[in-house]
Chain A
Amino acid sequence: MIRSTHLPLLITIATFVLAYTLCASQYPAMLSTRVVANLLTDNAFLGIAAVGMTFVILSGGIDLSIGSVIAFTGVFLAVILRDTSIHPLFAFVLVLAITISFGAAMGAMIHYLEMPPFIVTLAGMFLARGAAYVLSTDSVPITHEFYDTLQSLYWKAPGGGRFRLTGIIMLLTFLAGIIVAHRTRFGQNVYALGGGLSTARLMGVPLARTTIGIYATSGGLAGLAGIIFSLYTSAGYSLATVGVELDAIAAVVIGGTLLTGGTGFVAGTFFGILIMGLIQTFIVFDGTLSSWWTKIVIGGLLFGFILLQKGLTWATTLRRKPATEFAAQS
């Protein structure tokens, strides 16, 4: 029996499969492992950030700061590796500590000052971007042996596709996200929070700890995404990744998560990312379509999925009353 809560996820997966089949029927080369591997590598940083965004949106909040946090992380790593001689691994730990505490601070402001997440994370977005500008306004290249080692790590699949470390980290992040969301108390608390603040409080959900934890997770994952992005570009630039938060939100919505919170799946976000990556790949393959069609198609997809969710919620509320009567009879 397919539960209606699973339906958006199934439709997202079906859309992806259908879109991929259509693309492949037009360009058979799309089936090669190279394309699949690039799909994972190119969207690795976005995917990791979107996992954090999924948790935030599941809890009924929003995090506008992640694009800026990714840029800050990149610039911070580039500057610290240029000016000091510390090992990149230590720099990674340092930057993750900063981004996690940054997220936690935003969560604390949201909870204790009772301010809307939209406004708090908007200020956070300005702050993180500003901090990146202060560190450096130029694009700073990263030249470190350890970076070369990390970038050269890949598994070469038959067909020439290179599954790089960054793509694998994204897959692991999604796996961890799925486990945390569905198999831990924290995950259940996130869903409860999204279902309604007062209900969650009455159920005994630790509101302060959960809210701070959610935004710390999102901040930390944005930091991880920043590390991956710096591996991807070998540089840190304060103007990079502008508007990534919108892509992440779009991926989460296309993945079937309700923006009101409480309903959705981390796995859906994964397919949302893949669908968005697929559109870009198709435009590259086609060659005649202009880049702005990406935005228009993603906007159209967003609209389609929102309508679908609306239809489903409407259908389930219509069906609920007769369903309880049936249950009483049987």
Chain B
Amino acid sequence: MTAHVHNTFRRITPQLIILAAVLLLNFMVFPDFFRIEFQNGRLFGNLIDVLNRGAPTALLCIGMTLVIATRGIDLSVGAVMAIAGAVAASLAVDGHGWQVALTGALAVGALCGMWNGVLVAVLRIQPIVATLVLMVAGRGIAQLVTEGTILTFLDPGLIHLGAGTILGIPTPILIWIALGLAVTAAVRKTALGMLIEAIGINESSSRLAGINSRVLIISVYLISGVCAALAGVIVAADIKGADANNAGLWLELDAILAVVIGGNSLLGGRFSIVASLLGALIIQSVNSVILLSGMPPEFNLIIKALIIIAILVIQSPTVKHALYILRASAEPQPSEPIKEAKESPQ
């Protein structure tokens, strides 16, 4: 058990170091960064903001990690967010309660995910193309639902999901942490995680080994769709309206980045949801640094791009290999290279 905890910790060490560095950067530009206050029955503070604003990306990257672990990719999550937000809003506008709105949105998300999954697993279409269809058409469908307007709603239950608090903690934070824990437990306490990794490493051999890869692939896309729907509902609830054009725009890219920063290979195989969630927090902390530093907002994107490129270069296979050679030649211990070899994704 302790060995297991130790291994998990070693796996996420790089992400923890990067996150600590970015948070330190936050602290340097804004000394009050770590201060958390309790006012008006809720927690306030920059750290809480990072956790709260990072919720959509964090939710998306839970599903995305599983999809990428099967050597797939889901480009449609941003569009699914828009569809789910639109469905929830239109149900709320029609006078249904928040339970119906949420269930409806999640069901639509599951349907979208299933569509992607069937295209990939049954029709054997490349994931990037299969999900591109929904990415292109999805926003059109969302506009069809909202009839081209921004649908606003006033249902307090639905708004609570995005802007409310439970025991002083903003609801979105609780939702993504709970879902993250639940999915991690589901894949790690059972053999599911290993089966998903097996599909990502070699699908044909996994099928020969008796894994029902078709059902598993459909289910990971389904989970990704449900995660996206949940994120869409939160985003819509946060602004009390469904914006078919801008809800979740380019968030699929942030989610994929979070998974990659989390050290998961885009070629599938071993994965860590915790590391992906840390990746999502790193992205949000980078956004926060740029905001807090008071730099002109037009520099936001370029700084974010440079930081991301730096993180990616550090994690690229070539640089990792060079570092490994350096370390191996520096201290020739017989046990060290064997441990390292086990760590590498292949």
Contacts and interface: CB of A to CB of B under 8 A. Distances in A.
Contacts of B300: 130, 133
Contact of B137 (A123, A131, A295, A310): A295
Interface string B117-135: 0000001111011101111
B97 interface: no
B280 interface: no
Q: How large is the interface on B (under 10, 10 to 19, 20 to 34, 35 or more residues)?
A: 35 or more
Interface stretch (B13-21, B41-49, B138-146, B198-206): B138-146
Q: Would you call the interface of chain A mostly helix, strand, loop, or mixed?
A: helix
Given A246-B135, A295-B140, A296-B141, A133 B253 contact: no
Nearest to B115: A303
A299 interface: yes
Given A113-B318, A129-B301, A299 B306 contact: no
A62 B128 contact: yes
A299 B134 CA distance: 7
B299 A130 contact: yes
A219 B299 CA distance: 22
Contact of A306 (B73, B125, B257, B317): B125
A293 B134 CA distance: 14
A29 interface: no
Contact of A133 (B148, B266, B298): B298
A126 B134 contact: no
Interface in B293-319: 298-306, 308-309, 312-313, 316-319
A298 interface: yes
B28 interface: no
Contacts of A293: 140
Nearest to A247: B136
A270 to B, nearest CB: 20
Nearest to B311: A123
Interface in A92-129: 109, 112-116, 118-120, 122-127, 129
Contacts of A206: none
B260 interface: yes
B58 interface: no
Interface in B93-123: 123
A290 B318 contact: no
Contacts of B143: 290, 292, 295
Contacts of A310: 123-125
A46 B50 CA distance: 38
A249 B132 contact: yes
A319 to B, nearest CB: 18
Most buried by A among B136, B299, B304: B136
A32 interface: no
Interface string A283-298: 0000000111111101
A66 to B, nearest CB: 15
Contact of A259 (B128, B301, B319): B128
Most buried by A among B125, B132, B148: B132
A195 to B, nearest CB: 16
Contacts of B141: 292, 296
A131 B140 contact: no
Q: How large is the interface on A (under 10, 10 to 19, 20 to 34, 35 or more residues)?
A: 35 or more
B256 interface: yes
A9 interface: no
Interface in A239-265: 246, 249-250, 253, 259-260
A307 interface: yes
B133 A302 contact: yes
A300 interface: yes
Nearest to A300: B137
Nearest to A112: B318
A7 interface: no
A204 to B, nearest CB: 22
A150 interface: no
Contact of A119 (B135, B266, B299): B266
B55 to A, nearest CB: 21
Contacts of B319: 113
A127 B132 contact: no
A307 B308 CA distance: 36
B140 A292 contact: yes
A115 B316 contact: yes
Interface string B265-302: 01100000000000000000000000000000011111
B220 to A, nearest CB: 18
Given A113-B317, A290-B143, A292-B143, A299 B302 contact: no
B309 A123 contact: yes
B123 A113 contact: no
A126 B136 contact: no
Given A292-B140, A306-B129, A122 B123 contact: no
Most buried by B among A120, A246, A295: A295
Contacts of B309: 123, 127
A299 B319 CA distance: 39
A126 B305 contact: yes
A113 B137 CA distance: 34
A24 to B, nearest CB: 25
A260 B129 CA distance: 9
Contact of A114 (B137, B148, B303, B317): B317
B140 A123 contact: no
A115 B312 contact: yes
Contacts of B73: 118
Nearest to A249: B132
Given A130-B302, A130-B303, A259 B136 contact: no
14 contacts: A113-B316, A113-B319, A118-B128, A123-B312, A126-B305, A127-B306, A130-B299, A131-B302, A246-B132, A292-B244, A295-B139, A296-B140, A298-B136, A299-B140
Given A114-B317, A246-B136, A310-B125, 18 more contacts: A109-B313, A113-B317, A115-B317, A119-B312, A126-B302, A126-B305, A130-B300, A133-B301, A133-B302, A250-B136, A253-B132, A260-B126, A292-B140, A292-B148, A294-B140, A298-B137, A306-B133, A310-B124
